[in-house]
Amino acid sequence: MYEVEVKVAADLDAVADRLAELGAEQTGDVVQVDTYYDAPHRDFAETDEALRVRRETRDGETTARMTYKGPLVEAESKTREEYETGVDDGETTDTIFERLGFEPAATVRKDRRFYRYDGYTVTLDAVEDVGEFVEVEVETDRGDVEAAREGAFEVLRELGLDPQDQTRTSYLGMLLEDTP
């Protein structure tokens, strides 16, 4: 399974208005607090991998999950292999990775509003200490990546955004860039 994801900086109020005009369905909103880990045996910045433990609070209830993201397989749309599973206890998961020698590298906090539009997930992200962004995302098989990416660009255009403004830097990367 591949995740095709296109992200641009945007004014979230303007995009929310446009989504309402288009009749897009708002499917939820969450607060996510993500801890990213450095590995003891390889440099994830070098290998282009990520290990994350995410806490997500929705309707007052917090769940946790852990995610491994592999290197890019398709650079244009930031497509990468992703493995994720829910965990019963986020703190214990943190502790297990720390005992194994992984070290917390950074924490990314964001408010996310999710919409469903034309088969895509459109996410409005307000990222603490980073800024406001819109992500257009879909999961697809490897053979359909190109078509999925073109569709994501079309959704951006309908939202009054320019696919040329796409940023391939992760929120983690942006946060670390801003860190002196």
- Give the x/- contact pattern for its own copies in 138-167, rule: CB under 8 A: ------------------------------
- Give the x/- contact pattern for its own copies in 36-75, rule: CB under 8 A: ---xxxx------x-x-------------xxxx-x-----
- Measured from the CB atom, the residue of 99 and 164 that comes closer to its own copies is 99
Q: List the catalytic residue out of 2, 36, 37, 115.
A: 36
Alpha helices in 38-166 (DSSP H): 44-47, 90-99, 145-158
Supply the DSSP symbol for 41: S
C-alpha span between 71 and 111 (Å, rounded): 26
Pick the stretch among 87-95, 109-117, 122-130, 152-160 that binds its own copies (CB under 8 A).
87-95
Sign of CA dihedral 89, 94, 96, 97: positive
Closest contact distance (angstroms) between CB of 163 and its own copies is: 30
3-class SS of residue 114: strand
Token pair belonging to 136: 């257009």
- Measured from the CB atom, the residue of 27 and 92 that comes closer to its own copies is 92
Q: Is residue 169 within the footprint of its own copies (CB under 8 A)?
A: no
Q: Which residues partner with 30 through β-bridges?
A: 112
- Measured from the CB atom, the residue of 38 and 154 that comes closer to its own copies is 38
28: left (phi over 0), alpha (psi -120 to 50) or beta: left
Catalytic residue at 36? yes
**Ranges within 94-113 binding its own copies (CB under 8 A):** 95-96, 99-101
